[in-house]
Chains A and B, each alone.
Chain A
Amino acid sequence: GQNIDQPTEMTATEGAIVQINCTYQTSGFNGLFWYQQHAGEAPTFLSYNVLDGLEEKGRFSSFLSRSKGYSYLLLKELQMKDSASYLCAVPQFAAAGNKLTFGGGTRVLVKP
């Protein structure tokens, strides 16, 4: 089975840095996704990590440690528009298809 844990909520100040942690337990590993979801909207893709290490994309970076079952999403130079939920998800592939198992999401509130 799959088990994914991430904090429920985090608060940070505009311009600051926030790190959202995600720990996972899976019966096979095929990478890890991070999605951003604004209230009432669809999740949008941020990153996909398969190999260990840090991947940077502008203000957002994602890190993976497969041996520790751990990932984090780093948001730098926070802006008000970054207030959203951030979802950690792992794909489970089967011969017939694949599905995403999500964590509960971390709601980030950016304050001025």
Chain B
Amino acid sequence: DAGVTQSPTHLIKTRGQQVTLRCSPKSGHDTVSWYQQALGQGPQFIFQYYEEEERQRGNFPDRFSGHQFPNYSSELNVNALLLGDSALYLCASRAGGNEQFFGPGTRLTVL
């Protein structure tokens, strides 16, 4: 079992650019959540996908959007990048239980 996987591991972008991050959930998991974790802080919930639809959303602007595919994998898109978007982006998956399993994250740096 590969667990939750994310790509890329690291990414450097400049202000105003757009970025797409990818996540493959743990085998058997159908729900994917995305979190943003700034340095020295706890993760902040961005949104959650289930059955290819956004089910819940945190307090993030519309520049943050996502998608879930029929194989349950997911993408996080961020448009018009700001310096403050620099963070570790974590994907978590679950299969209906309470526990969420986290991927290793994508470290995004915006210059």
Residues of B within 8 A of A4 (CB): 42
- How many A-B Cβ pairs are below 8 Å? 68
What mask results when residues 37 to 53 of chain A are scored 1 for a CB within 8 Å of chain B, else 0? Answer: 00011111100100000
- In chain A, what residue has the closest Cβ to B41? A104
Assess the B101–A98 pair: CB atoms within 8 A. Answer: no
> Which A residues lie within 8 Å of B101 (CB)?
45
Residues of A in contact, count (CB < 8 Å): 27
The interface residues of chain A lying within 8 Å CB-to-CB of B94 are 98
Interfacial chain A residues near B98, Cβ < 8 Å: 30-31, 33, 48, 91, 98
Query: Once the chains are docked, how many angstroms separate the CA of A99 from the CA of B34?
Result: 10
CB within 8 A of A44: which of B48, B50, B102, B107?
B102
Q: How far is the CB of B87 from chain A (nearest CB, A)?
A: 12
CB-CB nearest 10 A-B residue pairs: A102-B42, A96-B55, A97-B55, A42-B102, A99-B45, A97-B48, A97-B56, A105-B42, A104-B42, A42-B104
Where the two chains meet, the residues of A that have a C-beta atom closer than 8 Å to any C-beta of B are 4, 30-31, 33, 35, 40-45, 48, 87, 89, 91, 94, 96-105, 107
